Amino acid sequence: MTDTTASAGRIPAETTAYAVILAVSFCHLLNDIMQSLLSAIYPMLKADYGLDFWQIGLLTMTFQVTASLLQPVIGIYTDRRPLPYSLPVGMGSTLIGLIFLAFAGQYVFLLVGAALVGLGSAVFHPESSRVARLASGGRYGLAQSLFQVGGNFGQAMGPLLAAFIVVPRGQSSVAWFSVAALVGMIVLWKVGTWYSNHRKANAARPAAAPVLTLPRRTVVIALVVLALLTFSKNIYMASISSFYTFYVIEKFGVTVQMSQILLFVFLGGAAVGTIVGGPFGDRFGAKTVIWFSILGVLPFTLVLPYADLNWTIILSFVIGLVMASAFPAIVVFAQELVPGRVGMVAGIFFGFAFGMGGIAAAVLGVVADAKGIDFVYAVCSFMPLLGLLTIFLPNTRQARRATA
């Protein structure tokens, strides 16, 4: 891959690629730190505003459905007309959303803040995923993992920052994180400049690798299966991200701060899994990673509802690690199935992930009010059984060799 900048001329592809990938990964970290603050401060908001579980679920749904509805639309549009400088604009929406969350005096303004943070996510993910693929040098799984792991670490750090900054100092301290959004806007402006210059320099360059030529029916079935696998993964992830703090507080009597630390353990495991998933997908194939990740986590999810505190901590880390390794492979797999539609695929799958998580959070909140948190985790423990659908995915390695 050839990369040029306006001022520096020709730069070695490897150096430029990793610099750009790490830049968008860093901004993904900032983006998801700010996003995860919302769920991390749920116990505080529930106490301060007297919220029921269904209202907590509605907050998550507002944030995630806003992102899920707009991401595919933005991805489809930018496949035709890329918008390199939309990246800092999306981060600006997140900044404004944080201000609303920090100073909201009523529940409705919490919903507005959640929606604005969701809008920022909708703009950020399709275009930054495209940038990571452009800078990959053909190692799509590695690039997708590096990009996504920034988000995973951000999600893991958010609860810790909330525990030690927001919980002791109150809701208004959420505004301090607007500084992170400002830093992200600056970095993404520079990424947008690289992206714009890269497009100009490579406008006439033909595709470097042959695309898959699978029957339309095979592609449609594979995309439906990938969507269902994402569905199973994100329902379970929603049960953790939205209600895990309440679960460990209610079941084991831990403090709010300790519950945030335990949530960090789960999200930290997810971050490690994301790093591993992409390179393993490049080496062994995305389908192999998906098999291992979705179905392989089932024994651990089935045991979790019956574990004591120590085993809950261990199992939550393992579940996060194994389950999170699937998503880079799912995104890369889908992008290979629909070549030339990187933004649309990223938008659909990132958006679908957010949307399913949001709807699941709302539904699970109602179930938790009626049946209790323990019942929610017992039901969700069976979701990885949908991993059996992986058998219907085509072997893209064979198809690629046949196309070549």
Is 3 within the bounds of a domain?
A: no
Is 341 within the bounds of a domain?
A: yes
What are the contacts of 185-189 at 24+ separation with CB within 8 A?
Answer: 185/88, 185/91, 185/92, 185/95, 186/88, 187/23, 187/26, 187/27, 188/24, 188/27, 188/87, 188/88, 188/91, 188/128, 189/85, 189/87, 189/88
Q: How far apart are CA 145 and CA 328, in angstroms?
A: 6
Q: Is 404 helix (H, G, I), strand (E, B) or coil?
A: coil
Q: How far apart are CA 292 and CA 261, in angstroms?
A: 27
Contact 275, 402 (CB under 8 A): no
Determine the residue type at 384. P
Is 241 within the bounds of a domain?
A: yes
Which domain covers residue 348, as residue numbers? 12-202+210-403
- Report the pLDDT value the prediction gives residue 7, as an integer from 0 to 100: 36
The 10 Å Cβ neighbour count of residue 169 is 11
Is 384 within the bounds of a domain?
A: yes
Phi, psi of 3 (to 5 degrees): -120, 140
Is 78 within the bounds of a domain?
A: yes
Q: Is 4 helix (H, G, I), strand (E, B) or coil?
A: strand
Kindly report, residue by residue over 26-82, the tens digit of the pLDDT: 999 998 888 878 877 787 788 888 888 888 878 877 887 787 778 878 888 888 888
Q: How many domains does the chain have?
A: 1
Mean pLDDT of 116-138: 85
Q: State the number of CA atoms in the 13 A half-sphere of 343 facing the CB.
A: 20
Is 6 within the bounds of a domain?
A: no
Predicted model pTM: 0.68
CATH number at residue 341: 1.20.1250.20
pLDDT interval class at 206 (50, 70, 90): low
Q: How far is the CA of 26 from the CAs of 84, 126, 184, 303, in angstroms? A: 17, 16, 8, 35
Is 80 within the bounds of a domain?
A: yes
**What is the biggest distance separating any 2 CA atoms in the chain, rounded to whole angstroms?**
63
Kindly report, residue by residue over 315-364, the tens digit of the pLDDT: 999 998 888 888 788 888 887 888 777 777 777 776 766 666 667 777 88
Phi, psi of 229 (to 5 degrees): -65, -40
**Is 50 exceeded by the pLDDT of residue 303?**
yes
Is 7 within the bounds of a domain?
A: no
Q: How far apart are CA 115 and CA 67, in angstroms?
A: 8
**Is 50 exceeded by the pLDDT of residue 87?**
yes
